[in-house]
Amino acid sequence: MRYILPILLSSTLLVWLLYGTIDRDVIFYIDAHQDEQLKSIFEIITLIGDATWWIVGSAGLWIYYHIKKDRYKMVRARFMFVAIITSGLIVNLLKMLFGKARPDKLLDEQIYGFEWFVDFTQYSMHGFPSGHTTLAFTVATTLSFIAPRYTIYFLSIACMVAVSRVAVLYHYPTDIVAGAALGATVSILLYNLGKISFKKRADEQH
């Protein structure tokens, strides 16, 4: 739990610093210096943040290990599934609450900023927070609890997904900062509130 307050405070400060001029300048720069080959790479990387495969995969593993009565692995799959679903529901509610315009609205119509309480059909006004980034950091954080020795790799991949969302002009820097904070916070909260332990008991090791 000790990580949550620093994450929220630092992300809030960063969003405040980036919002406005820096947000817009980053998008204008990327749009003006777009490299098609590099964009193609980022379009592949961004697919890692697609929630569908993670939801189906974690749910499938949860059911499979439940049937196999392998509690050790079942608990891990369930934790990831619940974290993904929870963060996904929260991020979609926040998208409709904040109604922040995506970069295409800036480039095509010179529209930037928040328009509170937009309905779920207005995709171009659902920029904040970034859903793919939220998913990436939710998964990275849950995997870091499950296999802490690989934390740096999990978080590095999540950062790549976050950067890709800006690189392909789907989000602003503020969107990915908020998404990263949300994904990590949800996973940490669920881990602590559920009093989850991934240490094998002696009787499970044989």
Q: What is the mean pLDDT of each run of 10 residues along the chain (206 residues)?
A: 88 97 97 93 96 96 95 93 97 96 96 92 94 98 95 98 98 98 96 68 39
pLDDT attached to residue 28: 98
Check residue 70 and give its pLDDT: 93
Secondary structure class of 100 (helix, strand, coil): strand
What is the per-residue pLDDT for 195? 63
Supply the angle between the helices 4-18 and 173-193 in degrees, to the nearest 10.
170
User: Can you give the pLDDT at residue 200?
Assistant: 52
pLDDT of residue 1: 65
Q: Can you give the residue ranges of every domain in the chain?
A: 4-197
Write down the pLDDT at residue 2: 74
Q: Which residue has the tokens 């980036």?
A: 18
Beta pairing partners, 100: 114
Q: What is the pTM of this model?
A: 0.92
Q: What pLDDT is recorded for position 201?
A: 45
Which contacts qualify for 112-121: CB closer than 8 Å, 24 or more apart? Answer: 112/23, 112/24, 120/92, 120/96
